[in-house]
Amino acid sequence: MTFQLPPARSVAVNPSQEQLRSWVLEEMPHVTETEFGNLNYRATVKARQAPSTFFVSDVDTGKPTMPVAEAARWAALQDAHVAEQDMVLVQGHIGPDPAFRTGVQLYMDRRNANIPAMQQQLYFPPGDDFTPDFTVIYTPHLVPEGMPNECLILVDLDTWVTRVFGSDYFGESKMGGLRMWNKLVHDRGGLAMHSGAKTFPAASTPDGVEKLALIIGLSGTGKTTTTFRNVMGSLPVQDDFIALMPGGTVHASENGCFAKTFGLDPDDEPTIHGGATSPRAWLESTAVDPETGRIDFFDDSWTANGRCTFELDMIRHREPRDLPKAHYLFILNRNNDIIPAVAKLPPEQAARYFMLGETRGTSAGGAAEAGKKLRVPGTNPFWFEEDSSQGNRLLELLDTMELEVYLFNTGRVGGDDDVAGSKKVRIAHSAAVQEGIVGGTIEWETDPDFGYLVAASIPGFDDPELLQPRRLYEAQGRADEYRALVATLKDQREDYLANFADLDPRITQRVTVPGAAAA
């Protein structure tokens, strides 16, 4: 049965981008028209609210939960609030494939019309046969007193409804649908991955066959940059989420991109920069001079988590339909000490590193995560139940396909940027790594500490110490520090994976390296 939306004072159904823009200009404070003609809204809430997110259930879900009766009281409060509002209803699909797509609708307070405008750019068009499967009800002006950060996100997987209170951050709308999609894809035998996707055209590959790469990583770790960077003519397909199915079949989710704007450089990231500066793009919490409309992508005085949305048809991209099967998986890890710029993971290690989900937190996760070492299984903070199931599902899927898995460090080697002698893994380094992988030109050797393969050399890669961190530490007289970091990391990984009682033993088992301690 289709969920019945609560009645409102008025409802505008699928208004045009022009109509939404006029409401934003007429009714919203803190909005500036930029030098490029697009609009920027300075949001009060600057990141997703993980501490305020609860799954509705009377049983343990493995995630923060709220009892059904308590959630019903909040739902009734929101419904009463909606009854007095002018609402906007935006409808569309997650995914373009008629055999796999999912209908979703956003029901939004018109006083924040920028959010449905942004969401409309990410949905695939609804079509004449549209039926909503998922519903997101979003009321930024209804403050849930007593809840963490005065925000509340309720996820009800029994009714496929997500309710958002208090936040004016667009990401809660986007993830409202995709978080529920995680469950739906799993129910269908696949794995929803917090992943970008790009293709290397047939003309650029040695065997003349188009190759599809998946890129997973926490928001802010370089996922979008890696996806959209033009390497060997590569074309972006998706920015944020895909469904990986048995045999390597991949389904796209979104018709647009939700990209970070802080640090956006037209030389390093020309595709994203072009999208963000289109007059049709929408900006959120990006630094814009209110007098001149001039954008400063390097000003983080309000937040380093400024964002933009734009449609795929505004940039060069690969049509997200009829994709080739997945050929590569790049796991991004923004680390600052002993992770190499690239490591090739044997099949027995791929699911292990997927579950470890190691990275350094960014502003996308809020102040509680920024700059801290994190472990987020699958680099997917939106999973719907205890995380063992996504690691186990990946292992099951790997048995059905040929998938080359690589670990990418998008951070540094040798320490933080204030450590003398440490080195940054730059965007150009990651591009050279991709060229070497696709071209088959990397010379690999086994790492004596961790058992994965590290590069002895890569054409166009100018610093071997980024490829084998041991070399950097030894050259700087820091060999003891390196050995201590290796030992600590191995112990921490062992302790972390032990927390997942239902994880397949093949994932928790330490990797044995001949002549060295287990990794």
Chain segment 441-489, per-residue pLDDT in tens: 999 999 999 999 999 999 999 999 999 999 999 999 999 999 999 999 9
Give per-residue burial for 208-228: e unless 16+ CB within 10 Å, then b: eebbbbbbbbbbbbbbbbbbb
Q: What is the mean pLDDT of the chain?
A: 94
The topology (CATH level 3) of 259-310 is Phosphoenolpyruvate Carboxykinase; domain 2 (2.170.8)
User: According to the model, what pLDDT value does residue 151 have?
Assistant: 98
How far is Cα 239 from Cα 259, in angstroms, rounded to an integer? 8
- What pLDDT band is residue 250 in, cutting at 50, 70 and 90? very high
DSSP β-ladder status, 443-446 and 453-457: antiparallel
pLDDT tier, 516 (very low <50, low <70, confident <90, very high otherwise): low
38 pLDDT higher than 60:
yes
Question: Does position 513 have pLDDT exceeding 70, yes or no?
Answer: no
For residues 221 and 364, give the distance between their C-alpha atoms in angstroms, rounded to a whole number.
10
pLDDT score recorded for residue 479:
98
pLDDT in tens, 353-379: 999 999 875 555 555 555 568 899 999
Tokens representing residue 30 in the block: 């803190």
pLDDT at 347: 81
Report the percentage of the chain scoring pLDDT > 70. 96
pLDDT at 374: 85
- Spatial separation of the C-alpha atoms in residues 126 and 340, rounded to whole Å: 44
β-bridge pairing 31-33 and 39-41 = antiparallel
Read off the pLDDT of residues 130-147 as tens digits, 9 standing for 90 and up. Answer: 999 999 999 999 999 999
List, for residues 274-292, the tens digit of each pLDDT value: 999 999 999 999 999 999 9
- What tokens appear for 249 in the block? 């079949």
Range(s) for CATH 3.90.228.20 in the chain? Answer: 193-253+320-508
Residues 517 and 197: their CA atoms lie apart, in Å, by: 35
- Does residue 56 surpass a pLDDT of 70? yes
In the chain, CATH 2.170.8.10 covers 259-310
Secondary structure string (H, E, C) spanning 321-388? CCCCCEEEEEEEECCCCCCCCEEEECHHHHHHHHHHCEEECCHHHCCCCCCCEEECHHHCCCCCCCCH
What one-character-per-residue DSSP string does 231-245 give? STT-EEEESS-EEE-
CB contact set of 300 (below 8 Å; sequence gap of 6+)? 262, 287, 306, 363
Give me the percent of the chain exceeding a pLDDT of 90.
91
Q: Does position 517 have pLDDT exceeding 70, yes or no?
A: no
The CATH 3.40.449.10 portion of the chain extends over 10-189
Assign domain 193-253+320-508 to a CATH class.
alpha beta
Strand order in the sheet with 39-41: 31-33, 39-41, 282-284, 307-311, 256-260
Give the whole-angstrom CA distance, residue 231 versus residue 100. 30
pLDDT at 121 over 80: yes
Please give the Cα distance from 10 to 86 (Å, whole number): 5
Strands, E assignment, 119-252 = 134-139, 152-156, 161-165, 191-193, 195-200, 211-216, 235-238, 242-244, 250-252
CA 263-29-284 angle, 5° bins: 20
Q: Give the number of other CB atoms < 10 A from CB of residue 195.
A: 30
In the CATH hierarchy, which fold is given to the domain comprising 10-189?
Phosphoenolpyruvate Carboxykinase; domain 1 (3.40.449)
Query: Whole-structure pTM over 0.75, yes or no?
Result: yes
| Bridge partner residues of 374 (DSSP) | 359
Spatial contact of 121 and 21, defined as CB atoms under 8 Å apart:
no
Token pair listed for 290:
């209110």
Q: Which amino acid is at 398?
A: L
